[in-house]
Amino acid sequence: MSSIEKAGLYRLGDRTVKRLGYGAMQLAGPGVFGPPKDRAEAVAVLREAVAAGIDHIDTSDFYGPHVTNEIIREALHPYPADLTIVTKIGARRGADGSWLLANSPDELRSAVHDNLRNLGLDALDVVNMRFMFDPHRPAEGPVEPQIEALAELQQQGLIRHIGVSHVTADQVAAARRIVDVVCVQNLYNLVHRDDDDLIDQLAADGIAYVPYFPLGGFSPLQSDTLAAVATRLGVTPMQLALAWLLRRSPNILLIPGTSSRAHLRENLAVAEIDLDPTALRELDAIGKP
């Protein structure tokens, strides 16, 4: 068994993927805008990730924009048969790098076609609809118009599966009344634990939960307890934070991102980390009030 396989497997739509995947956001330039500083290294990271056994890549055509998808295509096309590529729509980038809402039916159809073209695919494995009623946290609002638009694209064969992102539990339920939701992608990590109940509900229904910013995002996790436990176990704090997520629930799929092969290898090694009961208790307490 390879290191990455020790993380386990989980269903994602009609695929079974390894729970340790890869997020492509950091392949774009600073602020997820423009080209990377080292395109050759970005290509090499993707190729090494797949060679190491990663079979789940998360991306979006608004990373760059278009940059990460173009690099994925350059590095990996024609794609391995077992590779699942997940993308997300619902936003676009302004000329100044700003993040703008783009969730009308026409904009969603255009975004799907952009992803298809730039990835070189005839159909997208999974498309996450990202909602932005509040840019900082999930907020209630109607999801039906966007989910119905994606359902039409699914019926046309352009999308195989649908997920939702930046959503509340009520919005997940509303989306599931229209389509089969195969995954939920929300902010969640060792410190930000608002979705604890939602994760357990989804696990009971066999639905994957994919935490974005598993290491804190643009502001890396800071915790004296995390650092102390990591030192005791002989790993980095960020490796330990990922290992905790793998232990948190079997339906959690990880997509840590990096533009460095050395950092990629550190991320892949987290499947080997053994968390004893004492370490788990200490880490669990970090995110509790």
The answer to the question of residue 67 being in a domain is yes
Query: How many separate domains does the chain show?
Result: 1
The answer to the question of residue 132 being in a domain is yes
Among 271, 174, 254, 201, smallest CA distance to 12 is for 254
pLDDT at site 111: 98
The answer to the question of residue 288 being in a domain is no
The answer to the question of residue 152 being in a domain is yes
Other CB atoms within a 10 A radius of the CB of residue 97 amount to: 13
Our answer to whether residue 63 is catalytic in this structure is yes
Using CB atoms within 10 Å of the CB of residue 81, give its burial: 0 to 12 exposed, 13 to 18 middle, 19+ buried.
Answer: exposed
3-state secondary structure of 44: helix
Choosing from 63, 188, 209, 212, the catalytic residue is 63
Backbone Cα Rg of the chain: 18
pLDDT at site 2: 63
HSE-up (13 A, CA, CB side) for residue 68: 31
The answer to the question of residue 121 being in a domain is yes
What gap in Å lies between CA 77 and CA 230, rounded to an integer?
38
15-41 burial code (b ≥16 CB/10 A, e <16): bebbbbbbbbbbbbbeebbeebeebee
Structural domain of residue 28, as residue ranges?
15-222+251-259
Q: Are 241 and 221 in contact (CB under 8 A)?
A: yes
pLDDT at site 216: 85
The answer to the question of residue 119 being in a domain is yes
The answer to the question of residue 8 being in a domain is no
Q: Parallel, antiparallel, or unpaired for β 159-165 and 181-185?
A: parallel
Ordered per-residue pLDDT tens for the chain, 289 residues: 567 989 999 999 999 999 999 999 999 999 999 999 999 999 999 999 999 999 999 999 999 999 999 999 999 999 999 999 999 999 999 999 999 999 999 999 999 999 999 999 999 999 999 999 998 899 999 999 999 999 999 999 999 999 999 999 999 999 999 999 999 999 999 999 999 999 999 999 999 999 999 988 777 788 899 999 999 999 999 999 999 999 999 999 999 999 999 999 999 999 999 999 999 999 999 987 6
Q: Are 57 and 21 in contact (CB under 8 A)?
A: yes
What gap in Å lies between CA 159 and CA 147, rounded to an integer?
12
The answer to the question of residue 110 being in a domain is yes
201: domain CATH number is: 3.20.20.100
